[in-house]
Every structure is written in C-alpha cells, then in structure tokens.
Amino acid sequence: MQDLISMVWRRLPLVLTILVLGVLISFYLITSSPRVYEASAVIQLDMPAAIDQGSDSSLPASRRVQLIEQRLMARANLREVIERLGLFADSPLSETEKLGALRSSTRIESITAPGVSVDSRMSLAAIVITAQAETPAMAAALANDFANSVVNRDRENRQLRILESQEYLRNEEARLNEQLSVQERKVVEFSARNEDSLPTSQEFLQTELAQLTEMETTLDRDVMTLQRERLSLEAGGTASEARPSASLVQQIRSAEIELAQARRTLSPNHPEIKRLEEILDRLNSGGGSGGSDVIRRQAELIDAQLAKLNEQKAGIAARRVEIDRARARAPEVTRELEAMNRQQRRLQDRYNEISRQLAQVETQQMLMENDQTERFVLLERALPPEYPAMSNRKKSAVMGVGGSMALALTVAFVLELLNPVLRRSDQFARATGTRPVISLPYRLSSADLRARRLRNIYMVALLVLGALVALWLIGKIPGLPSPGVVSMPTDGMG
C-alpha cells in the first residue's frame, strides 16, 4: 500500500490530468445525452360470458395486436393526433418526418393470458401502449390519447362493421329471394309445359296406358256388337219383305228382354241401353207397324253409335301417341328439370347461409347494445414519469469517475514498470534480500523546489479549470448554457 501511495504521489499530475479529463468527458456525455420521458397506459380486454364471435375476436393475440397497431399508426390517425396534441408546433420537419418520428416513439405490446395457447383468441389479456416525448406531460398525454383511441373507437368500429354487414346481408338476402322466386316460377312453368314427361308422371302414364288399352278393347267389342246388330237388322229387313212381319206384341217383348239383359251387363249411360230404350219407346208408341221405317231408323242409330265409338277410338289412339312422345322426351326433361332444381337448391342454400349470418350479426348487435360483448377497458392511465427513460445521470457519473481513476492508475503503473527505480530501503531489501546499513534522505535542490512549485501550481490550476468546465457542462454558470443535446426522433414533441 505504501508503494501504491508513493507511486500515486510521484505521478499525481498525470493521474489528476487523466482523472479530470475523464470526468469532464463523462460529464459532457451525460449532459449531451437526450432526456426522453416514457409513459405507458394499460388496456385490459374484458370478455363477458356471452361473447360475440366477431371478425377480430376470433384472431390470435399477435394478429389482433398487429391490427390495432395498424389502425393507430395509420397516416390519417397520426395526423389527427399531431393536430389534437399540438405536436411539432415549431418544428421545421416535413409531414412525413413528423409521422415517422411519432411512429418510432410509440410502442404497442400485448400481454398474453397464462395457460392459454398463443393461437387462441382468449390469449390476449391486455395491451400496453408506451409513448416517448421530450417532457413527462407530453409522454403521458400521448400514451393516454392512443389508449383512449383504442377504447373509444373500438365500439364505434364494431358498430360500423355490424351496420355495414347488416346492409350487405339484407341486400344479398333480398336479391337471393328475388332470384329464388324467378327460379321457382321457371320450375313451375317448365313442369306445366312438360307434365307428361316428368319423372313423377311416368307411373301414372303407365297406368293410363293400361286403362286406354282396356277401353280400346271394350270399344272394339262394342263396335263388333253394333256391326252384328247392323247386319242382323239388314237381314231382318230383307226377310220382312218376303214374309209377314211379326206381331207388334212379339217385337215389344223381344225389345224388353234385350233391354233387361243389357242393363244387367252394361252401365246405365251406355249407348246400347239408350238405343234399346228408343226402340222400345217407338214400339210402345205404335211405330212398330211401319217395319221398314223402324229398320231404317234403327240402322241410322247404329251408324251414329258406330261413328261415336270410332271417334273415341281415334281419341284413344291420339292420346297413346302423345304418351309415347312424352315418354320419349322424359330423359331430356329430367336432365333439364334436375339442372333447374340444382340451381334452385344452390340459391336456397346461399339464402339460408345469408339468413344465418344476418341472424348472427343481429345477435352481435343485441349483445353490444346490452354491453355483453368483448370490450377494451382502460385499466391504468399513463402518468407523467419522474425520471427520464433513456439516461441515468448519477450512475453514468459514478461510472465515468471510476473509469477515469482506473485509467489513471493503470497509466501510472505502466510508467513505473517502464522505469523501475529503487527509491526506498524496503524496496532495496525486497529486491536484494539484504537490508542496507544506512539510508540517507534525498535533499531537494533549488531546481527540484521550482519543479515542485510548478507541479503544485499545475495541479491547482487543473482542478480549478476542471471544476469550472464541469459547472459549465452541467449548466450551473449563469450566462453560459450547457452544450447542445443530441437530436432525437422526439424533438419537437413537447
């Protein structure tokens, strides 16, 4: 320790010079470092039990924080913040530089909920908005402004999105409803035009064909019966000219028997029954005596019945042709009808989906009106900070003094190593292992005394000058301002 004290004493001017210069340099760095204040506001994400499934709430926390940051850092929003808070009032910066400075001085971070996956929409617990400015009040005002923008505009943005969604979904629902009505009319008109070719009509047509065949067989049998009667009537008329005609009573009796037999086998509206009833009426009225006239009238009636039966057979044949044509067109009609039905089902599915989405949006609106949706709550407002965020002057000053002292001692020690001289008896004893018999003190000469006086004057002047420069650096000398501060992005922000 005595050697160290001796070394420092001998190298004291050099040590003081390095120490004063180091302290002054550290003071300059401290005073020239900018004072930037930082304030933070905390926004909590409140999620009630009845939460809506909005477009934002289903996103992961990282993505949602990105969306919030994009909305806050938009050019229009930043311009409004600058105008509202009066930032960069006297700054010569351009608008782009002002916006860039404001973006770089604002930071948005997310706090995730513990035990929740980062990909879950429930992982976002809170948002921290941090702002930097030249003054504590401006830093707090800037952070609170962004926080209020998130809290207040979030509900407005949600309401606006809901109204826009409702308008779009209602217009789409009306459009799809109109298209569905048009498509339904097309299907009904197409089915009416091609009723016999529809797939649902094929079984009925098959049954109708069987009925037509049966009816045609019955008509053929009736035609043959009438033709036989016609032949019998002609044969009977020829015989009546050669031999006496039968008595009127016998004719009436025969007509009654034939009518009774026909009623047991034929329907009441059958043409044969009508013909027999007319014959019986004529015989009862006494018309049976005129045999040739009766035969002629009977022949005309049979011919009229044959003509009607032939017309019915022609109608059945025409209907059979229509059925054959309809069955031939059935595959094409089926394909067209299926295509129209598919289009109708697609429109119906789209209509149902739009209706479901509209109901969901209306539910979201109802939940928002009842304050049951996810919302941001300003949990902690930003307060003006007491100390700058980017400089710790006391710590920097202590580190500067300590570093300067270490550098001075290191230089002095190196110089001692470069000039090893035995100056005391203890050093001689350690170096040689023997103690000197006698040691005489060094007597200072007049030159040494002048050098010592100059040394003392230099050290005193160095200390005085160093103190003055230090006071100037920290701005304690009236009329002499401290050196300029390094420019920062927050310059002009209050």
Q: Which residue has the tokens 């949990």?
A: 379
pTM of the model: 0.48
pLDDT at position 59: 55
Q: Which residue has the tokens 């170096």?
A: 431
Secondary structure of residue 242 in the 3-state scheme: helix
Could you tell me where the DSSP H helices lie in 370-474? 393-418, 425-432, 446-473
pLDDT at position 231: 77
How far apart are alpha carbons 88 and 93 in whole angstroms?
8
How far apart are alpha carbons 44 and 54 in whole angstroms?
18
**Bridge partners, 109 (sequence order):** 128
CA-CA-CA-CA torsion sign (275, 278, 283, 289): negative
Q: Which residue has the tokens 């004493």?
A: 9
**Furthest-apart CA atoms within the chain: distance in Å:** 205
Letter string b/e over residues 369-387, b meaning 16 or more CB atoms within 10 A of that residue's CB: eeeebbbbebeeebeebee
Decide if 6 contacts 423 (C-beta within 8 A). Answer: yes
Q: How many CB atoms sit inside 10 A of residue 223's CB?
A: 16
How far apart are alpha carbons 265 and 284 in whole angstroms?
24
pLDDT at position 290: 47
pLDDT at position 493: 56
How far apart are alpha carbons 447 and 482 in whole angstroms?
42
pLDDT at position 217: 85
pLDDT at position 354: 92
**What's the token pair of residue 400?**
């500067």
**pLDDT 10s digit of each residue in the chain, 494 long?**
565 666 666 677 788 888 888 888 877 777 766 677 889 999 887 766 544 444 444 455 567 677 778 888 888 888 888 888 888 877 788 888 888 888 888 888 888 777 666 556 566 778 899 988 888 888 899 999 998 888 877 777 778 888 888 899 999 999 999 999 999 999 888 888 887 777 777 788 788 888 888 888 888 888 888 778 777 766 655 444 444 444 556 667 777 787 777 777 777 777 777 777 877 777 676 544 445 566 677 777 777 888 888 888 888 888 888 888 888 888 888 888 888 899 999 999 999 999 998 998 888 778 777 766 677 788 889 888 887 765 555 666 678 778 888 887 888 777 766 766 555 566 556 666 667 666 656 666 778 688 778 888 888 888 888 888 877 777 677 766 666 544 445 555 55
Q: Which residues contact 283 (CB under 8 A, 6 or more apart)?
A: 248, 251, 252, 255, 294
Decide if 140 contacts 382 (C-beta within 8 A). Answer: yes
How far apart are alpha carbons 74 and 461 in whole angstroms?
59
pLDDT at position 174: 93
CA-CA-CA-CA torsion sign (385, 387, 388, 390): negative
Closest CA to 33 of 289, 395, 359: 395
How far apart are alpha carbons 244 and 250 in whole angstroms?
13
Q: Which residue has the tokens 């420019």?
A: 487
Secondary structure of residue 178 in the 3-state scheme: helix
Secondary structure of residue 375 in the 3-state scheme: strand
User: At 325, which amino acid appears?
Assistant: R
**What's the token pair of residue 444?**
């200072």
